[in-house]
């Protein structure tokens, strides 16, 4: 049976079945990190119980086993995002390290004074600060593409910003604050007309839909395993072979070299050039298990379910006069940023937590976006496929209660 079975999915995530403050846990902080299904937890403990050894250092069975599991995990990621080659998948600690690797490498080898780097107004700090640093180092300039009042990229202005000096376009696939799904394929197409390198931050997209990097045709696509039901401390830097070949390594040391003398070193082949030191082996194996899990469920059904949650949440929010939603894009994923009356977001968050409901409050690592919106923070409820319509209703029932306390 390949239909989406919410009860079964919830059973696969043991953490969901618990009480917080005496109330059933309602976990609505999925944009910060997703929970882990049992098979991910088991894959990690199985690795440490049975196969733990360092990778690529051969000569014994456990090391061979660990290497095989580790490289199989890489191939699994390759298949999941439809990369052309397994060596286009580089392991990182997460999205942040992946963007730093790209930005730092481009600052060293590619960017020059007068170049322009375009980002959008809705970027996470992880896709702003590394480019600020890269711009300072290279003499390039950071250019910000604005958003409209719904929180969508203003496409006509974006197009006018592209010019012969545009060296890089770095944008998020899905906004972690507004939920906006960007038209990344079109963003990439226009960027290519001026030969800019394209970098897509997939942190919020990877857990909510299908990603095909060859179809998007971006040069780089990055994400974190922990937002895809995998462990923390593991992430992916996908780059087209030709781009990765040209990019200098971010860190140096063991594993990433071919030869070393006291005078100099030569770099290993892809992807190892970017994987200095002992990697997060258990993390990669855990992420592969998460991909197996996602592939085992009805993904189309899961996406449709999340869309229902999104619509239901909008409906309930619109029925409450004092709730203001930030991010009303036509094309939006299950992330809801809002303010209730003039209540401080952290007060709302605390009162929701007392009712067993986990949300995030604050600027969500998008301080420049908050400045544009003229606010200092929001309450953010973010859903995953294991959330239910009942939980959405409970959120609003809880908010009604919160109102009486404020
Ligand atoms: N970009 C976006 C859009 C995100 O939502 C996040 C995580 N909040 C990041 C980047 C950074 O991811 P990580 O902390 O896993 O490196």
What pLDDT, on a 0 to 100 scale, did the predictor assign at position 287?
98
* Cα-to-centroid distance, 59 and ligand 1 (Å): 38
Residue 174 half-sphere exposure toward CB, CA atoms < 13 A: 24
- Per-residue pLDDT of 334-357, as tens digits, reads 999 999 999 999 999 999 999 999
Strand order in the sheet with 378-382: 323-326, 335-340, 378-382, 360-362
* Cα-to-centroid distance, 176 and ligand 1 (Å): 8
Length of the chain, in residues: 406
Q: Which residues contact 128 (CB under 8 A, 6 or more apart)?
A: 119, 368
Which ligand 1 atom minimizes the distance to the CA of 226?
15
Predicted confidence (pLDDT) at residue 204 exceeds the cutoff of 50: yes
Contact 271, 89 (CB under 8 A): yes
Which ligand 1 atom minimizes the distance to the CA of 176?
5
CA distance 404 to 406: 6
Residue 287 corresponds to which tokens in the numbers above? 């992420």
Predicted confidence (pLDDT) at residue 172 exceeds the cutoff of 70: yes
Residue 352 corresponds to which tokens in the numbers above? 């929701």
Contact 3, 299 (CB under 8 A): no
What pLDDT, on a 0 to 100 scale, did the predictor assign at position 3?
77
Write the DSSP symbol of residue 181: B
Q: List the catalytic residues.
A: 365
Across the chain, mean pLDDT equals 97
pLDDT bracket for residue 2 (50, 70, 90): low
Q: Could you please report the per-residue DSSP string of 155-178?
A: HHHHHHH--TTEEEEEEESB-TTT
Pairing of strands 141-145, 116-120: parallel
CA distances (Å), origin 336, targets 47, 179, 309, 312, 365: 37, 7, 11, 11, 15
- Per-residue pLDDT of 119-166, as tens digits, reads 999 999 999 999 999 999 999 999 999 999 999 999 999 999 999 999
CA-nearest residue for atom 6, ligand 1, is: 203
Nearest to 343 by CA among 335, 356, 352, 334: 352
What pLDDT, on a 0 to 100 scale, did the predictor assign at position 1?
45
- Per-residue pLDDT of 83-125, as tens digits, reads 999 999 999 999 999 999 999 999 999 999 999 999 999 999 9
CA distance 29 to 226: 12
Contact 216, 188 (CB under 8 A): yes
Q: Tokens 């309930």 appear where?
A: 316
- Per-residue pLDDT of 370-403, as tens digits, reads 999 999 999 999 999 999 999 999 999 999 999 9
CA-nearest residue for atom 5, ligand 1, is: 176
Residue 36 corresponds to which tokens in the numbers above? 């882990």
Region of residue 277 (phi > 0: left; psi between -120 and 50: alpha; otherwise: beta) = left
* Cα-to-centroid distance, 70 and ligand 1 (Å): 23
Tell me the mean pLDDT in the region 240-252: 98
CA-nearest residue for atom 8, ligand 1, is: 32
CA distance 335 to 180: 8
∠ CA(215), CA(287), CA(55), 5° rounding? 110
As a whole number of Å, the CA-based R_g of the chain is 22
Which ligand 1 atom minimizes the distance to the CA of 98?
16
- Per-residue pLDDT of 19-73, as tens digits, reads 999 999 999 999 999 999 999 999 999 999 999 999 988 789 999 999 999 999 9
Phi first, then psi: give them for residue 179, nearest 5 degrees.
80, -5
């Amino acid at each position: 049976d390949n239909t989406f079975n919410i009860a079964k999915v919830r059973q696969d995530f043991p953490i969901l079945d618990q009480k917080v403050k005496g109330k059933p846990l309602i976990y609505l902080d999925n944009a910060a990190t997703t929970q882990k299904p049992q098979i991910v937890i088991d894959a990690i403990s199985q690795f440490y119980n049975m196969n733990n050894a360092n990778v690529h250092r051969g000569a014994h069975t456990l090391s061979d086993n660990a290497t095989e599991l580790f490289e199989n995990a890489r191939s699994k990621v390759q298949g999941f995002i439809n990369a052309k080659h397994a060596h286009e998948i580089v392991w990182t600690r997460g999205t942040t390290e992946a963007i730093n690797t790209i930005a730092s490498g481009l600052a060293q080898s590619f960017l020059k004074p007068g170049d322009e780097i375009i980002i959008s107004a809705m970027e996470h700090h992880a896709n702003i600060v590394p480019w600020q640093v890269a711009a300072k180092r290279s003499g390039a300039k950071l250019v910000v593409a604005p958003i409209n009042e719904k929180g969508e990229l203003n496409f006509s202005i974006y197009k006018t910003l592209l010019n012969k000096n545009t060296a890089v376009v770095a944008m998020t696939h899905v906004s972690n604050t507004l939920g906006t799904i960007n038209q990344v394929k079109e963003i990439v197409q226009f960027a290519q007309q001026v030969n800019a390198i394209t970098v897509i931050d997939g942190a919020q997209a990877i857990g909510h839909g299908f990603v095909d990097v060859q179809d998007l045709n971006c040069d780089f696509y990055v994400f974190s395993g922990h937002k895809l039901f995998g462990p923390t401390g593991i992430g992916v830097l996908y780059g087209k072979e030709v781009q990765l070949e040209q990019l200098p390594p971010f860190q140096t040391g063991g594993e990433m070299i071919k030869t070393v003398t006291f005078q100099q070193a030569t770099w290993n082949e892809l992807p190892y050039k970017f994987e200095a030191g002992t990697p997060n082996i258990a993390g990669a194996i855990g992420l592969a298990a998460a991909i197996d899990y996602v592939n085992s469920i009805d993904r189309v059904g899961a996406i449709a379910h999340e869309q229902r949650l999104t619509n239901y949440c909008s409906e309930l929010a619109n029925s409450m006069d004092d709730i203001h939603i930030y991010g009303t894009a036509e094309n939006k994923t299950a992330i809801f940023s809002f303010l209730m009356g003039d209540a401080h977001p952290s007060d709302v968050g605390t009162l929701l937590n007392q009712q067993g409901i986990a949300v995030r409050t604050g600027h969500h690592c998008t301080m420049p976006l908050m400045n544009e919106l003229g606010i200092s923070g929001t309450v953010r409820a973010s859903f995953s496929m294991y959330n239910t319509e009942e939980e959405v209703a409970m959120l609003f029932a809880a908010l009604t209660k919160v109102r009486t306390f404020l």
